[in-house]
A and B are shown apart, each in its own frame.
Chain A
Amino acid sequence: MNDESILKVKNVSKSFSGVQAVDDISFELSKGDVLGIIGPNGSGKTTLINLITGFLKQDKGTVVYNGEDISKWMPHKIADAGLVRTFQFMRPYHTLPAYKNLIPPLYSKRASRTGLGNLGDRDAVAIDILEDIGFERDTRVPFKLAGTLPLGYLKRLELGRCIALKPELIICDEVFSGLSMSEIVSMVPLMERLQEEGITLIMVEHRLRELFRVANRVIVLSFGKKIFEGFPEEVFEDEKVKEAYFGGEDTYVFK
């Protein structure tokens, strides 16, 4: 899978009033990769996403996407280039019906370039996309107010907003978290399908078993530093990872 690099993160750092949230992180991503980013709470995963997608500005380092330095771009311009993200805390337009939540991305310039927003009736396109990701067309679900939908649908709606932009790279911030087992089980094939469609994925996740079914590479963060990069199978053989998750050798363990 090493044909073409789509995203290069080089020595990116960010600190919040003295706290080093992201410390000198570098990695590279090829087209079609599925990269998992894991790490304990507060290890800087979401900050890293915010840095890549332009919602935060890094103190140091560069982010190169498709050969262009996007470190100083505004978030909407980055999304316009096809690098989109979901939010960990779902942010639907809660006063709009679910399918109308896809109108803003379909209204964007990128959608008119990719053709999705040009088909005349954006509502129909929106409902098609929602049906694809598990909103049953013949029920009332796509037409309900987004604020009244259960969590599982909201997570899908977040993905739908990304898909409406026909992205090349989706960064998913904990799409599995807070879902029931059955909801997660139905989400995994969706992620696999996105991958088959040639979309590069970065998944920040706490649900490791499901993540490892999809991911072909994993990065582990701890206190803002990258402590491991490799294949999913190797993760828990690594001493540093064990230490980050379970504490070091000299940690007192209750028996």
Chain B
Amino acid sequence: MQELRKERLDRGVKVRSESIYAISSLKEIMFIIGPGLLLAALLLILPLFVSSYWQGVLKITGVYVLLAIGFGFLANYVGLVSLGGALFVGVGGYLSGGLNYFFDLPMIVTIPIAAVGGALICTILLLPALPLRGVYFAIVTLVYPMALSRIIVATGAFRGTDGLPGLERFPVGIGPIYLIFIVILICLYLLSRLVNYEDFGLVLRGVKDNELSIKASALHLTWYKIQAVFIAAFMGCFAGAYLTHLYGWVGTSLLAQDFSILPVAAAVVGGPGTIFGPLVGAFILVPISEAMRDYGTLRIVFYAIILVIFVVFWTEGILDYLKRKYEQFEHWVEM
């Protein structure tokens, strides 16, 4: 019997290595920037065509997308497995909510302050854990939100379990969707530039591959980790502040584990090879979770099944698969 094997060839514009392209026509430019433009167009058009209920879902999805992108960036490009989604959301949310409640600042001020200030606070909180790797770092990031929520309940800070009510809320309509979607698009653009084309991003990827070599290359390892955590925390804290002003309320539910766990699932479903993967994962998982709201806690089971299927049978993830199909010819050749 004749034996065949699958041969994969890079398409013409890609020469020699990732991030080196030979471009000679508009068509080839479109080949490279096309997928990004398509994604941007989809995100910007989508809110116009859904019912107001699903518009609400899109806002929540946006929050999870930001967390998932942050998780994917840290885990796949810096080697820090962070379960700190809840920490970021909680700190960002309480900061913007607190500023609005106690100092009466408008949200146009509180959201930027919460994003930057919250990211600073989270980075400082995580500073002692930065020398840790893998599961140890994950555990520390997981413990922080739990501890913070207990502290808030026990001490009654920020009005304890009651939370801070009556905060300024976003106006109804599709405006808030565009706010978070545009932030998502900016983050995606900057991050994918960073990890693919910037030398700083290459150093971060070096941190993931090999910390000792980074040290031996005269680079301050912890400083690079600090910057990476700040970037992810910035996105997470913005998401938290956004959520606060979406509900007009801040409480310990902002420190719930959902914000830590779902981004992990989204990153697994989307695939580890791109910055965009976690976005795709979140856009699949959050609406599914929403559509299954009628089944109550059973949806967790459904969720778990999806996750297991991806982890066991399709570790590549959706977007990595699509990327491979897009960038390479495949054909069968005789062995």
Contacts and interface: CB of A to CB of B under 8 A. Distances in A.
Interface of A: 53, 55, 74-77, 79-80, 84-85, 87, 91-97, 99-101, 103-111, 122, 140, 143-144, 161, 164-165
Given A80-B218, A108-B219, A143-B17, A161 B213 contact: yes
Contacts of A76: 214-221
Interface in B28-56: none
Contacts of A75: 215-216
B328 interface: no
A103 B216 contact: no
Contacts of A104: 202-203, 206, 213-214, 217, 219
Contacts of B205: 93, 95-96
B294 interface: no
A96 B206 contact: yes
Given A107-B199, A143-B20, 13 more contacts: A76-B218, A76-B219, A79-B217, A80-B218, A84-B218, A95-B209, A99-B17, A104-B206, A107-B200, A107-B217, A109-B218, A143-B17, A144-B17
* Most chain A CB inside 10 Å of its own CB: which residue of B16, B200, B217: B217
B210 interface: yes
B212 interface: yes
Given A76-B220, A143-B16, A103 B215 contact: no
B218 A91 contact: no
B18 interface: yes
A95 B77 CA distance: 10
Given A97-B18, A122-B199, A108 B217 contact: yes
Contacts of A97: 17-18
Report which residue of A107, A110, A143 has the largest number of chain B beta carbons within 10 angstroms of its beta carbon: A107
Contacts of B16: 140, 143
B216 A53 contact: yes
Interface residues of B, number: 23
Nearest to A107: B199
Contacts of B17: 97, 99-100, 143-144
Contacts of B212: 55, 87, 91
Contact of B213 (A93, A106, A143): A93
The 10 closest A-B CB pairs, nearest first, are: A143-B17, A79-B218, A93-B209, A108-B218, A105-B217, A80-B218, A75-B215, A143-B16, A104-B217, A91-B210
A80 B221 CA distance: 13
Contacts of A107: 199-200, 202-203, 217, 219
B327 to A, nearest CB: 15
Contact of B216 (A87, A95, A106): A87
Given A100-B202, A103-B202, A161-B213, A110 B18 contact: no
A55 B213 contact: no
Among B203, B210, B216, B220, which residue has the most Cβ atoms of chain A within 10 A? B216
A83 to B, nearest CB: 10
Nearest to B224: A104
A176 to B, nearest CB: 19
A247 to B, nearest CB: 35
B168 to A, nearest CB: 43
A155 B4 CA distance: 36
Contacts of B200: 107
B216 A84 contact: yes
Contacts of B218: 76-77, 79-80, 84, 105, 108-111, 165
Contacts of B219: 76, 104-105, 107-108
B206 A93 contact: yes
Interface in B260-311: none
B273 to A, nearest CB: 10
B215 A87 contact: no
Contacts of A109: 218
B120 to A, nearest CB: 24
A79 B214 CA distance: 10
Contacts of A103: 199, 202-203, 206
Contacts of B221: 76
A97 B209 CA distance: 12
14 contacts: A85-B216, A92-B210, A93-B205, A95-B208, A97-B18, A103-B206, A104-B202, A104-B213, A105-B219, A107-B203, A108-B217, A109-B218, A140-B16, A164-B217
A84 B203 CA distance: 18
Nearest to A86: B216
A100 to B, nearest CB: 6
A75 B221 CA distance: 10
A196 B208 CA distance: 36
Contact of A161 (B20, B203, B208, B217): B217
Contacts of A111: 218
Given A75-B216, A165-B218, A94 B202 contact: no
Nearest to A100: B202
B84 to A, nearest CB: 24
